Structures are given as structure tokens and as C-alpha cells.
Structure 1
Amino acid sequence: MHTLQPLQHPPENEAELLLQARRLAGLTLGELAFLAGLTPPADLKRDKGWIGMLLERWLGASAGSKPEQDFAALGIELKTIPIDSLGRPLETTFVCVAPLTGNTGVIWETSHVRHKLQRVLWVPVEGERAIPLAERRVGSPLLWSPDPHEDEQLRRDWEELMDLIVLGQVERITARHGEVLQLRPKAANSKALTEAVGAQGQPILTLPRGFYLKKNFTAALLARHFIT
């Protein structure tokens, strides 16, 4: 195991990325942190993005906080997904921040959501709170692109949510809207407001929103690929 090292450069192709991701399967977050010279936090309360950051380091991700995909040269996004003992997702998956203004003429085909989900490397990680963070194991990776049915599900929800945003109904959108994609506030605190369109077309201030994949969508995706 001691020969395992983080990639020192962005992977040159999908095969290299997938091979490295498969090498991590079965190892604990504590082992991966130790080998990378990092100290794991006690928990994720203040370090919500730590698992993603650790895996980005191991896999040679290049994007950081930039709006492009994590592996921009390959067009691949990295998504870690916490799972329970049965392999089911424990939470929704953040996709990207939702644009609340300037949406005239936007279409699904060129949307940021679709761009982010064109090719995703899913890395399941044990997420049950009873397991100490350092002892949680990394699961087998999955390289995924939406099939026509999944793309249609996502498009339908995205169009419904974007219509509501454009029509000034952003404040009325709840997490229950959308079958597989939801829109909900994404802000560190309630003072971080952003501009949006009100019901009369007037500018309003509201909490920033993010697009999230619902658990039913990611559960079906994982089940289809991992449970035979």
C-alpha cells in the first residue's frame, strides 16, 4: 500500500483517472490522508468539503473553485457521494449555483447544469455518522454520463425550475419542486443575498440558490451500476 501516491499531475485520459480512482477503493479516509501528508478533521461540521478536497488531491483534479469541471481537459466532474451500509446516498448532491438573473434565451443544451453532468466520476464514501471520519472507506468509482432517459428527466426539471425563476417565482420554489433535480438556498449565512427577479419583474434580493440532484436519482444511478 505504501507505493500508492496521489497523482502529481492532472490525469491524461479517462483510463488513467479511473485506474487511480479504483486504487483508492477499500482504503479509509485516514489512510489516504496520512499518505498525502494531511491530518483529517475530527468531523465535517466545519470542513464539509474536506472529503472532496482529499480525493481531488489523490486524483490530480485541476479546477479548484473555478467554474469548470474538476478535470477540465477531460470534461469530467468529480462527485463524492456519502452512502449508507446498503449503498444508498445519504444526502442530495450539489451540482452548481443557479443563475437568478439574465436568463433570457437560456436552453437546457447549453446550461451549466448539463455541462457539469455531462461526464461524472462518482466516488461513493461511507457516510454514516457512527463511523469515525478517518475510518470511513472509499468505495468503487463509477464513470457516468446521463443516458437519454436521465437527460430527459433532468431537462424537464431544469426547464420547470428555470421558468419559475424567469417568471419571478424564485421565492415560491421549494425542495419538493422537480422529480430528480431541486433548487434550494445555498449560502453560508442568511446575510449573503443576491439579485433575482420579483413577481412584477422588479429586482429583488434573495438567498443564492443551488441546483441539487435528489437522492432518488443518485440512488437509482448507483443501484443500476453496482447492484446486479
Structure 2
Amino acid sequence: MQDLPSLFAKASQLAGRSFAELAAEVGLKVPKDLRRNKGWVGQLLEQQLGASAGSQQLQDFPELGVELKTIPIDATGKPLETTFVCTTPLVDIEQLSWEQSNVRNKLQCVLWIPIDGRREIALAERTVGTAFLWQPSAAQEQQLRQDWQEHMDRIALGQVEQISAHQGEVLQLRPKAANGRVKTQAIGPNGQLIETLPRGFYLKTSFTHSILRDVFNLP
């Protein structure tokens, strides 16, 4: 059973190493690109670090209360995509509060690992950046809580299909499915159950960029 300092030390030792090198150590094949293998880098780092949660609705290191998040960045340290947090409950949400939410659970302590996301560099040659541990400040938690509450209120009112990725200051809600045929139940406009695409919560790049700027003193 590892403790937090050991996990952080292990993650720190990955800095500067290539995906090819790290994949060879755990017996993973490096795909040509990530178009059909979107979660591959996360899987590689989970294996390197011994994450135990798999796809369960738990933190990646539940015994430590730590979630692992990779963040692809460009040469200037700017995030290249939003960060998936967790799937969104769309039914049976009457009693759900921010304190019990999986968004709060997942984000209470995050081990962020920046990775080279530049598409012009072959995937095998891309490298891992400097890991850091992050917990939301009171102001950041307030922003997250406010967005979460607004999204959940709209879901409860049967407006899930009217929510766009533009809404939310720091936390957006958008479809999360392998393809358009995947459906789940949600509350419809008249309180009836409807079929819709599953949804996920994502951190906006403006929010993750502000975290990176604070940690690495970026301009």
C-alpha cells in the first residue's frame, strides 16, 4: 500500500520520459495516434503508478483519496482539450448535494500530470511533464459548486437537452458516449423519462490553464 509521498515521488520520476519507454516497461503497445485510443495515455500512467479504481466511480487511488488526471499541453503550457471529470447522473437526483457529488469527490485532491499533446510529434516520442498535486482553493470550489448546481438544477427541470458546452464558468456538461446509439434515461420537460445521450462533466481549458499558470508561474 503506497502513501501519498511515495505516489508523488513515483509520478515525479516519470518527467521527461517518452511514452514509448514507459509503455515498454508495462507491456503496452503504443498506438499510431489517439483518435481511436483516447484513453491510452491515462491507462499507461495508471499502470505505471499502480492506480486501482479502473472504471469505477471512485478516485483512481481511493485508499489515498487521490484522482489522477493527465492534461495534454502545447509548447507554451496551454491545455489542448477539456478535462473529463466524471459521468453525470440524470435521474434520481432529488437528494443529491454538492457535498455528496462525484465531481467534488473526484476533484478534492488531484495528481495532475501534464503531457506533451503536440500532434506534430509522433505519439511514441512524446514525453511526460512535471507532476503536481492540487486541491481546489475555496474560490475554485465555489466556482465548481455553482456551475455543478446550475447544471443539476436544469437536469432536474427536464432541460438536459438544452444545456450546451458554453454554459458554466469552469465546469461544462456535454455528451459522453462512444457513439450516438448509446442512450440513457433522463428527466424530460414534463417530468417523464426520456432517452438521451449520456452526459459527462468536464473542466474548461480556461480553468485548467489558470491552475497550470499558478503552479508553474506561466505568463
TM range, smaller chain: over 0.9
Q: Tell me how far 1:16 sits from its aligned partner.
A: 0.2
2:52 match: 62
Q: Tell me how far 1:106 sits from its aligned partner.
A: 1.2
TM-score, structure 1 as length reference: 0.94
SS of residue in 2 equivalent to 1:66: coil
Equivalent of 2:205 in 202, 210, 215: 215
Distance 1:72 1:156 in 2: 26
Distance 1:196 1:36 in 2: 40
What one-letter code is carried by the residue in structure 2 that aligns with 1:14?
L
Equivalent of 2:172 in 163, 166, 182: 182
Q: Which ranges of 4 or more aligned residues in structure 1 deviate by more than 6 Å?
A: none
Unaligned runs of 5+ in 2: none
What one-letter code is carried by the residue in structure 2 that aligns with 1:29?
F
Equivalent of 2:160 in 144, 165, 170: 170
Distance 1:121 1:93 in 2: 13
Q: Deviations over 1:128-176 (max 9, x none)?
A: 1101101111000011111101000000000000000000000100001
* 1:194-209 → structure 2 map (5 Å cutoff): 194-209=184-199
* 1:98-137 → structure 2 map (5 Å cutoff): 98-137=88-127
* Residue 31 of structure 2 corresponds to residue 46 of structure 1: no
Q: Tell me how far 1:110 sits from its aligned partner.
A: 1.1
1:159 match: 149
Q: Tell me how far 1:105 sits from its aligned partner.
A: 2.0
SS of residue in 1 equivalent to 2:90: coil
* Residue 61 of structure 2 corresponds to residue 71 of structure 1: yes
Unaligned runs of 5+ in 1: 1-10
TM-score, structure 2 as length reference: 0.97
SS of residue in 1 equivalent to 2:139: helix
What one-letter code is carried by the residue in structure 2 that aligns with 1:159?
Q
SS of residue in 2 equivalent to 1:168: coil
What one-letter code is carried by the residue in structure 2 that aligns with 1:117?
L
Distance 2:97 2:170 in 1: 18
